[in-house]
Structure 1
Amino acid sequence: MPRLIFSLATPDDDDALRRLLRENVMEGGISVSFRREPSYFLTSSVQGEQAEIYKGCNVETGEIAVLGSRFRRAAYFNGRLETLGYLADLRLNRRYRSGRCLFRAYCELGNVIAADPLPLHTSMILHDNAAALSTIAANRRGMPHYIPQGLVHTPFIRLARPRRPIAPEGVELRFGRAGEEGELTDFLNREAARRQFAPHYEPADWYNGRLRGLSVGDVCIARRDGRIVGALAGWDQHGFRQIHVERYNGLWRLGKPLYNAAARLLRLPLLPDEGGTIRYGYLALTAVEKDDADVYRALLRAQYIRCRKLGWHYMVGSMHENDPLLPVMNEYPHLAAGGRLFVVAFDTPPEPDGRVPYVEAATL
């Protein structure tokens, strides 16, 4: 492996970073790439208040060989507000892709991050990322220690058939209105403190890019006696983040024309052509007082109805395996997806106190 030198990426690297994403194709029945058009850096603002995007360049050619990021986030740990780090977006140029290259590159990147410590770092590795699970999460000598925190489910909920609203007794449901940002943010933070690693927001985040693409009108709010008792957002990030269909393989290639013919008759979402994008959005800002399943069920149904009308194919949820609301989300037909959550230790991390972790798929 050639020698790499790490430094912070700048907007001048934007074209090269987006090309690296386009070339990182996740193979499968439907081969896809996860893109950030028209700018790599637009997405960074939703991942954390401060983005540290590191590039590892071949010292001989200047070519970007590896990419990795740390995002500083205001988040709750053991009920206290802290500045935590989230490690994400590790990508290897295909010309440098091997287990040995991944190991050496992550060791060097880890040294850069460890030199500027934070109280705690977390990271999530997708189930099908065998290379990462067998290298960077294998706790090899010289690597940061990955401490498992359980499974996170990120189902793609199909927005297929129409469904009727759900109206719990004594609960008023409606979408947010201008002027409610402060009250809503206070509620989100109060509930976030009950979860581990849950993000903290400020009212200004509705306008400064932290919640880019999301407005208070995208949030369904549940009230009981005028007081907020639940919230759930439908976050469309298609303007700066896309799942791009590279190709259909095997049975998917054979079955796509038949599926789309049936979908037209049944008025279901069509599978996009190769080169197209999957229309999806995220279920986000999940907060329900006392984990009331009936309130969450009604919020989820309201977002289902709204997002289906908007033309989405899927809603992408996110819940830890121990979250008491997970069974409600799993009531809907979905494509299973998810990953493993880790605390990443560069030294001796503080111990979590047993609260259920919260992961926002929209900010991964």
Structure 2
Amino acid sequence: MKFSFELAQPSDDPALRKLLAESPMPGRITVAFEREPNYFMGCSTMGPFWQTIIFRHTPSQEIAGVLCRAVRSHFINGKPQDLGYVGQIRIAEKYRSLWLLHRGLSFFRELHADGRTPTYLGVISAENRISRGILVERRRRNFPSAQEIARIYTLGIILRNPMKALPFDGKIERGSSETLPEIVIFLQEHGTQRQFFPVYSAADFTEGEVVRDFDIRDFIVARRDGQIIGVLGLWDQSGYKQSVVREYDRSLRLVKPFYNLGARLLGAQPLPNQREHIHSAYASFICIANDDANVFAVLLRAVYNLAAERRYAYLMLGLTTTDSLLPLARKYPHIDYHSQLYLGSWENENDGLGQKLDNRIPYIEIATL
């Protein structure tokens, strides 16, 4: 009983940033997801309501672990509904144990008693076998249920020089304060096509912190006959979230010099060295009327070119493996990253949200994870 569980305070910021920097995610590329210059700046993108739970080692007062809870409105079967998110689970290596996570989730359940939502989304990397084993495959009775809903295919599209715009029988324009109300209405009307699409308001883009650092001029909008038929956005979160390379596996270390040479010849950026940031931005707010493949292709090319002009190395885009738009994105040279989307709840599994979902394709805004 040498640990306490509590909500983080502003004074915990330095220790939280240190924990993230020292808790990289393993894989072919081991990456630390850091939060400089302030941990809490990145929390609001999870939703307007969020809580950060810390596991504190009381003798030393060190933060041994962290777990986040957030609630925001999503479209569920076409209707707005509050839905939770659980993520950002990190436990310092010297304190890692099933018991500590068990206690953390028990405290999470106490917070869950506020009744804000019965159900939570969660995402686990396909390479994170330990978390999947603990939380899904061999979960304890008092852990929330975890029902796999979809598999997410995340692309790190390799950016080179801008490419020729694709032909289009309409108009492509940038977002503006004048057209923002129309863009938001489009997101609200056509976001219903996707399960879990976030419900946005105009205030989210002008007043709040839910889309922190997103510039409405970075909306790329497709119109036909004066009507919006598709929207994509380029969202740079590097001002408060960073992906930092910690290590490459042996195969990548061997191939890295040859990759870098080829990248320079093709106008792409080399792989970052250890301790360097992965210079990337997100393709976000993906909303296409009637899933028109041609409109998506045109908008993706426009966002690609905008990101290339700004000299990002990668354009990050995530879609579920059953999404009809994914094959178009996969045509671009990319590095792929796989994860599973789960619905979790302490309610009766047979009565849970997962049993009530219709056949709409899930959509997860990966920039908010």
**TM bucket normalised to smaller:** over 0.9
Question: 1:309/1:277 Cα in 2 relative to 1: closer, same or farther (>3 Å)?
Answer: same
Task: Tell me if the contact between 2:235 and 2:281 (Cα under 8 Å) persists in the aligned partners.
Answer: yes
Please report the TM-score for the alignment, with normalisation by the length of structure 2. 0.93
Alignment of 1:167-316 (within 5 A): 167-169=167-169, 171-207=170-206, 208-316=208-316
Deviates more, 1:57-66 or 1:73-82: 57-66
Deviations 1:91-142 (A, max 9, x none): 10111124x2465244424423432231421111111111110001224322
Structure 2 Cα separation of the partners of residues 162 and 114 of structure 1: 47
Structure 2 Cα separation of the partners of residues 330 and 173 of structure 1: 22
2:75 is aligned to 76
Alignment of 1:99-110 (within 5 A): 100-101=98-99, 103-110=101-108
Question: 1:129/1:215 Cα in 2 relative to 1: closer, same or farther (>3 Å)?
Answer: same
Task: Tell me if the contact between 2:55 and 2:104 (Cα under 8 Å) persists in the aligned partners.
Answer: no
- Mapped pair 1:333 → 2:333: yes
Q: Once the 2 structures are TM-superposed, how far is the Cα of residue 161 of structure 1 from its aligned partner?
A: 5.3
Task: Tell me if the contact between 1:31 and 1:247 (Cα under 8 Å) persists in the aligned partners.
Answer: yes
Deviates more, 1:102-111 or 1:192-201: 102-111
* Structure 1 spans left out of the alignment, 5+ residues: none
Deviations 1:265-293 (A, max 9, x none): 43321222222111111110000001100
- Mapped pair 1:354 → 2:352: no
2:7 is aligned to 8
Q: Once the 2 structures are TM-superposed, how far is the Cα of residue 162 of structure 1 from its aligned partner?
A: 4.2
1:114 is aligned to 112
Length, aligned pairs only: 361
Structure 1 Cα separation of the partners of residues 290 and 257 of structure 2: 46
Question: 1:182/1:89 Cα in 2 relative to 1: closer, same or farther (>3 Å)?
Answer: same
Q: Which amino acid aligns with 1:194?
A: Q
Q: Once the 2 structures are TM-superposed, how far is the Cα of residue 256 of structure 1 from its aligned partner?
A: 3.0
2:343 is aligned to 343
Deviations 1:6-42 (A, max 9, x none): 1110111110110010001223443221111111111
Deviates more, 1:277-286 or 1:349-358: 349-358
Task: Tell me if the contact between 1:68 and 1:109 (Cα under 8 Å) persists in the aligned partners.
Answer: no
- Mapped pair 1:363 → 2:362: no
Structure 1 Cα separation of the partners of residues 264 and 216 of structure 2: 33
Task: Tell me if the contact between 2:213 and 2:237 (Cα under 8 Å) persists in the aligned partners.
Answer: yes
Question: 1:103/1:41 Cα in 2 relative to 1: closer, same or farther (>3 Å)?
Answer: closer
* Structure 2 spans left out of the alignment, 5+ residues: none
Deviations 1:222-255 (A, max 9, x none): 0011110000011111111111122344233343
1:34 is aligned to 33
- Mapped pair 1:160 → 2:165: no
Task: Tell me if the contact between 1:53 and 1:67 (Cα under 8 Å) persists in the aligned partners.
Answer: yes
Q: Which amino acid aligns with 2:318?
A: S
1:318 is aligned to 318
Task: Tell me if the contact between 2:102 and 2:143 (Cα under 8 Å) persists in the aligned partners.
Answer: no
Task: Tell me if the contact between 1:263 and 1:270 (Cα under 8 Å) persists in the aligned partners.
Answer: yes
Task: Tell me if the contact between 2:56 and 2:63 (Cα under 8 Å) persists in the aligned partners.
Answer: yes
Question: 1:74/1:262 Cα in 2 relative to 1: closer, same or farther (>3 Å)?
Answer: same
Structure 2 Cα separation of the partners of residues 27 and 321 of structure 1: 23
For 1:154, what is the secondary structure of its paired residue?
strand
Q: Give the root-mean-square deviation of aligned CA atoms.
A: 1.8
Deviates more, 1:255-264 or 1:214-223: 255-264
Q: Which amino acid aligns with 2:204?
A: D
1:89 is aligned to 88
Deviations 1:289-316 (A, max 9, x none): 0110010010001111111111111111
For 1:173, what is the secondary structure of its paired residue?
strand
Please report the TM-score for the alignment, with normalisation by the length of structure 1. 0.94
Structure 2 Cα separation of the partners of residues 252 and 262 of structure 1: 14
Structure 2 Cα separation of the partners of residues 26 and 128 of structure 1: 9
